[in-house]
Structure 1
């Protein structure tokens, strides 16, 4: 593959789908002008996230879409040769999932339904049941959605499935119980960065972390989008405000280099994990 330019987006997306599409036009155009090959947008790009994690309002949920919806088609059309990951509320019969799609102008390349659900999210969304990597023009990619990254097994399963780039799309808010006066000092701000770097280093992969910004109801989102190298080093990042973090990296070369002496996936000892003393 050679050098790949990867962009991680921090931006606010709300309920208005027309406004979201207009905003996406600008973001994608700027990324294309910057030579970005892989663009990772936040969770709930189309339709926004919940406004309350503990008691979600059933009358003010994100609009339910399907893979055949007009809005999904518009993102595919925008993508052209670029690979784009984005989040939306997926309608599947009577169920609603917090989902992500990876697309290019050729169509859908991969999909993921959020597995791990914080607080009251299960009152709104059904849970996904797995993690699968998939092939793209920029290499083998896996996707997670915000709280999924709290669980090491999620990222590890994608790395074991051959993914060398993991895209984690988030709508990650500041603490809802013990909020700091400034976002950089918030406990969730520290954890968000910690998980990003740890998951990249644990699995020796390139990690792309996007996030919502701004406010939705009682939730204040952290931003802090970033691209992390396979050694856990932050290659590019944004602040709590909107922005695009871009890094250029030869994914295969850097992943291979990081695994040259210590190869975490090959040196696993699964037989030891289930032992009881």
Structure 2
């Protein structure tokens, strides 16, 4: 059995505050014997203030992957597998980046490929989806808008990922915000994409998300663990917390693929 935690929490421009929050979440996860902890996108430095007109004077701080703050998160992880997001500095470019680490170092890295309007003016786009081996299984990562595109999760599954970690900074609708968060169209889409990507590929999907607000952005939370049949096995709703589930990953995937094996039954020549 693998104990998984999907985090819903808020993060800010204050990197020391963010680091202390990450430390508290990892410490809590260790007490709960969580083996895979997935933090949201932008866990170090927060997300953009707006997607229509991002405030260029209030951008997330860009960190080099060798930055001492990154090294501190790696050290905090210890034996736990921890995924977290930050704004990566790479020469003249910024990337919306996720790292997967243990105390031994970086296991995998993903630069967000698909960008909504607003991000394109700030971040360069990544160009690949690749799974990687970890102490808890083979993992692939996506960053929020990536999961809107079925090809992203499919590419990771074809690369052998049994677990997909989707790190999000997913807000309520910016064009037609509902008065109640659970009625917002983005709330429905967020859950729909999580469940669909898991069921399409018959994998375990771990979806984390920001909570709270920054600028005009109000984040949904709704972190969750989804089984390979598209069933939500743990979730946080809109408040901060950790959705925790114990999953026998290989047994659940084998059971889901026992009769219908979607990856084997594809017909790429017809697409």
Aligned equivalents of 2:174, 2:247: Cα separation in 1: 36
What is the DSSP-based 3-state SS (H/G/I as helix, E as strand, rest coil) of the residue aligned with 1:119?
Answer: coil
What is the DSSP-based 3-state SS (H/G/I as helix, E as strand, rest coil) of the residue aligned with 2:206?
Answer: strand
Cα displacement string for residues 32-75 of structure 1 (whole angstroms, at most 9, x for unaligned residues): 10010000000000000000101111111100101100111111
Which 5+ residue runs of structure 2 have no aligned equivalent?
A: none
Q: 2:146 aligns with which of 142, 145, 148?
A: 148
Which 5+ residue runs of structure 1 have no aligned equivalent?
A: none
| Residue 69 (structure 2) aligns with | 71
Aligned equivalents of 1:25, 1:125: Cα separation in 2: 27
What is the DSSP-based 3-state SS (H/G/I as helix, E as strand, rest coil) of the residue aligned with 1:263?
Answer: coil
* Residues 1:159 and 2:139 aligned together: no
| Residue 213 (structure 1) aligns with | 211
* Residues 1:60 and 2:54 aligned together: no
TM-score (norm 2): 0.99
What is the DSSP-based 3-state SS (H/G/I as helix, E as strand, rest coil) of the residue aligned with 1:172?
Answer: coil
Aligned-residue offset at 1:119: 1.4
What is the DSSP-based 3-state SS (H/G/I as helix, E as strand, rest coil) of the residue aligned with 2:63?
Answer: coil
What is the DSSP-based 3-state SS (H/G/I as helix, E as strand, rest coil) of the residue aligned with 2:250?
Answer: helix
| Residue 34 (structure 1) aligns with | 32
Cα displacement string for residues 98-140 of structure 1 (whole angstroms, at most 9, x for unaligned residues): 0000000000000000000001110000000010000000000
TM-score (norm 1): 0.97
| Residue 93 (structure 2) aligns with | 95
| Residue 170 (structure 2) aligns with | 172
What is the DSSP-based 3-state SS (H/G/I as helix, E as strand, rest coil) of the residue aligned with 1:208?
Answer: strand
Aligned equivalents of 1:151, 1:139: Cα separation in 2: 24
Cα displacement string for residues 167-225 of structure 1 (whole angstroms, at most 9, x for unaligned residues): 00000000000000010000000000000000000000000000000001000000000
CA RMSD of aligned residues (A): 0.5
1:1-277 correspondence to structure 2 within 5 Å: 3-273=1-271
Aligned equivalents of 1:25, 1:63: Cα separation in 2: 19
In the TM superposition, structure 1's runs of 4+ consecutive aligned residues that sit over 3 Å from their partners are none
